[in-house]
């Protein structure tokens, strides 16, 4: 029976070594490149219109009530125009 055990050992030991080396072999790592899009802040380069003097800031008090109303209406119109330009400039920057 000793010869049978030796024959089995001669067969099992090399098979066990082959099995262990087969399990120990790791495949080459697979490198996968992926594109990841990340938003990057960009400084805004839009110029805001300069502040100017409006028509109602230089009111002639001798012009009477009609002159004062015209001056106030012109000043409001100028302010609305400047506000629209400023909002458009800021919106172009995404704010």
Whether the predicted model's global pTM rises above the 0.75 cut? no
Condensed to tens digits (0 to 9), the pLDDT of residues 10-51 reads 788 888 877 777 666 677 888 999 999 998 887 777 777 777
Among candidates 69, 36, 41, which has minimal Cα distance to 55?
Answer: 69
Alpha-carbon distance 41 to 7, whole Å? Answer: 74
The pLDDT score that the predictor gives to residue 94 is 72
The pLDDT score that the predictor gives to residue 54 is 81
In this predicted structure, the answer to whether residue 60 has a pLDDT above a threshold of 90 is no
Average per-residue pLDDT for the chain: 80
The pLDDT score that the predictor gives to residue 39 is 87
């Amino acid at each position: 029976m000793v010869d049978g055990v030796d024959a089995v050992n001669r067969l099992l030991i090399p098979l066990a070594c082959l099995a262990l080396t087969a399990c120990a072999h790791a495949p080459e790592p697979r490198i996968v490149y992926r594109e990841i899009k990340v938003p990057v802040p960009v400084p805004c380069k839009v110029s805001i219109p300069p502040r100017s003097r409006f028509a109602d800031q230089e009111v002639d008090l001798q012009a009477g009530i009609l002159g004062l109303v015209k001056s106030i209406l012109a000043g409001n119109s100028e302010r609305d125009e400047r506000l629209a330009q400023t909002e458009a400039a800021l919106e172009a920057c995404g704010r």
